[in-house]
Structure 1
Amino acid sequence: MQENQNNTSNEAVVDNVNNAAASEQQAEQTVEQRIAELEAQVADLQDQLLRSRADQENQRRRNAEELLNTQKYAINKFAQELVPVKDYLEMALLDQSGQIDTLKMGVDMTLKQLVAAFDKAQIKEISPAVGDKLDPHQHQAMSAEESDAEANTVLRVLQKGYQLAERTLRPAMVIVAKAKG
């Protein structure tokens, strides 16, 4: 009977050892599977990263090319507006009639064409009136003359200025008043 109990006890120990070995083997397989899954995930993420970097570089290159083209051709519309002005000036120079009125009319038409081109390009005149305060952003004082007028006010305009949208292209050249001294 004791032999029976020893056999049963030995069988239980063997079963426990076998079960433990099987569990350990299963755990190793599960760990190996998990490692393989994680390695596949890492490879996929590395691939995604490389693709994202390539897409980013391609976008940067496209943006740089677009910026260059924008800068290169930004003046295109304005240039198209100026071509007829040049044509009119060339026609005026070719006129052999000697009639001043005809020449004056041609120059007037050319000026109107140029003003229209300026308007389309948002180029505005800076033409200060006598008595306006000197604005250093839009006016350039060429000289100052003693006057009864308030100091630093415009006495005369020597040359008009121009601005593109809100940026000064060329300041108006003016003579300003200074206090009598």
Structure 2
Amino acid sequence: MGGIENKGDTLYICHGFGCEYRTAVTFSQKDKQRLRTILKRGHRSPEAERAAISKAVQWQENRVGPVVGSSNDIGGLDMGNGNVKGQMDCIDEATNTTSLLVYAGSQGWLKYHRAARPASRGFFLDGKYPHASAVVVDTTTEIPWVVDSWRLSNGKPPDILHMTKWLNMTSADLENPSGR
């Protein structure tokens, strides 16, 4: 995941599958205030912060969409859009979400979580398609949670799941990953 790069208030957004393209997006003071406000709503508890992280990921996807061309990014496995600017696979999504989480952490906006290295699962040989996701660690329990924005289209809520559950998911679980 060498595509993770932040410089000051600029995040480099991956798209085109496998970070084929990287587009710089600089957050304005208004952007920073909005993101801070979203994340501050989560300061009551780790669970509330994970809900705020979900909102922050949605905000970022909507914010960068017009700049990157990803406003119409199709969620899930869509091999027909490989190398298409603005379309994102799980590597792009995991990298972009991790960049946002690293940025938020560096600003002091996360109270109960820290960004961790992205996680991966599936090797074809185990009957699962390879997949990657961003990860946060709950600092009160040291339990890792995936923040997976790949399954649904741009701007939709990411799946936030306990790492163990995410690692054991099957294709059937993708239809209803959080048991909703």
Which one has a larger percent helix, Structure 1 or Structure 2? Answer: 1
Higher relative contact order (CA 8 A, sep 6+): 2
Which one has a larger percent strand, Structure 1 or Structure 2? Answer: 2
Q: What TM-score, normalized to structure 2?
A: 0.25
Question: Which structure has the greater CA radius of gyration?
Answer: 1
